[in-house]
């Protein structure tokens, strides 16, 4: 059964990792798609994988002007939005002494402010029955040394999900989140760590995990499909943890 037949879905950060895996699955289930990212080459490669009818928009989640342009493009192409998956995010590893104001603002700007204004600016396109999904992280509840700013940005999202879920459910719009544990995506190569240290960190994480492995992007995509579809119609303001048991430790 195709679970998103005819629905219009926007996946921010849909050019890579779990966003791309979700976009591919949404498409397989009949969704008409828009994706975003900043890197033109990555965005073009993702659009090529997804097929010609996909709307790929270069849009920086931290820029309100870009978000306006994105919603205008989605409105012009599709006229409405049924599924909004706010997944674009960045993580920079740094001990407290090394965090600059610019880096703090950049992470909060993309991960938290960008998410808030993407929802605000998408609302005119959304009707009763629509679903908003945010990607948080298990770091929003666990202590995570050297990821304090990232964890705080994702904790902010956790709070947004609850407040906006209550604010929007009266219009029939559900807001929920997926909280991933370690997932094998290009993000781990973008943490700003030297390669050897990044590899050592990955091995230590896999070893610590009760599942003894990283999750796959497809394992996040199947949760996103569930939250996007009417199968989750009575789930409101929830954050579903997909982490192989990591946060139970
Ligand atoms: N991988 C994990 O273990 C893990 C765990 C918990 C949570 N997460 C969260 O999962 C989400 C997806 O990450 P991923 O692991 O799939 O990493 P990824 O492969 O690096 O994908 C991140 C996506 O977000 C886009 N993006 C980043 N900054 C953006 C911006 N300012 N504007 C628009 N798009 C932007 C990237 O495209 P461009 O770089 O081209 O802009 C890319 O498409 C993120 O929110 C991340 O925090 C990941």
What values do phi and psi take at 174, rounded to 5?
Answer: -95, 140
* 3 part of a folded domain: no
* 216 part of a folded domain: yes
**Residue 129 region by backbone torsions, left for phi larger than 0, else alpha for psi between -120 and 50, else beta:** left
Q: Which of 120, 111, 128, 121 is nearest to 177 (CA)?
A: 111
CATH of residue 85:
3.40.50.720
Atom 25 of ligand 1, nearest CA residue: 13
Rounded to 10°, the helix 17-28/40-50 angle is 20
* 248 part of a folded domain: no
Structurally, the chain folds into a number of domains equal to 1
220 lines ligand 1 (CB under 6 A): no
Residue 234 is among the residues annotated as catalytic for this protein: no
pLDDT tens track of the chain, all 249 residues? 999 999 999 999 999 999 999 999 999 999 999 999 999 999 999 999 999 899 999 999 999 999 999 999 999 999 999 999 999 999 999 999 999 999 999 999 999 999 999 999 999 999 999 999 999 999 999 999 999 999 999 999 999 999 999 999 999 999 999 999 999 999 988 888 888 888 998 999 999 999 999 999 999 999 999 999 999 999 999 999 999 999 999
Q: Please state, in angstroms and rounded to a whole number, the distance separating the CA atoms of residues 63 and 80.
A: 22
46 lines ligand 1 (CB under 6 A): no
* 78 part of a folded domain: yes
* 48 part of a folded domain: yes
Q: How far apart are the first and last CA of the chain?
A: 37
Q: Which domain holds residue 231?
A: 8-243
Catalytic one of 26, 150, 188, 214: 150
21 lines ligand 1 (CB under 6 A): no
């Amino acid at each position: 059964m195709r679970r998103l037949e005819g629905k219009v879905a926007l996946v921010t950060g849909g050019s890579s990792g779990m966003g791309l895996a979700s976009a591919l699955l949404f498409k397989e289930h009949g969704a008409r798609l828009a994706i975003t990212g900043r890197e033109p080459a990555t965005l073009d490669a993702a659009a090529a994988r997804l097929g010609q009818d996909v709307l790929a928009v270069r849009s920086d989640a931290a820029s309100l002007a870009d978000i306006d342009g994105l919603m205008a493009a989605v409105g012009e192409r599709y006229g409405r939005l049924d599924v909004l998956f706010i997944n674009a995010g960045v993580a920079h590893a740094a001990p407290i002494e090394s965090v600059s104001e610019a880096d703090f603002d950049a992470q909060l700007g993309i991960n938290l402010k960008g998410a808030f204004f993407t929802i605000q600016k998408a609302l005119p396109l959304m009707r009763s029955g629509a679903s908003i999904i945010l990607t948080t992280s298990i770091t929003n509840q666990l202590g995570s040394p050297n990821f304090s700013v990232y964890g705080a940005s994702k904790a902010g999202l956790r709070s947004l999900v609850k407040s906006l879920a209550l604010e929007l459910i009266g219009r029939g719009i559900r807001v929920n989140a997926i909280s991933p544990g370690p997932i094998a995506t290009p993000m781990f190569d973008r943490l700003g760590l030297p390669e050897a240290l990044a590899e050592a960190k990955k091995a230590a994480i896999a070893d610590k995990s009760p599942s003894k492995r990283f999750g796959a992007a497809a394992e996040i995509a199947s949760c996103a499909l569930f939250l996007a579809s009417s199968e989750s119609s009575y789930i409101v303001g929830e954050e579903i943890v997909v982490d192989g048991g990591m946060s139970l430790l």
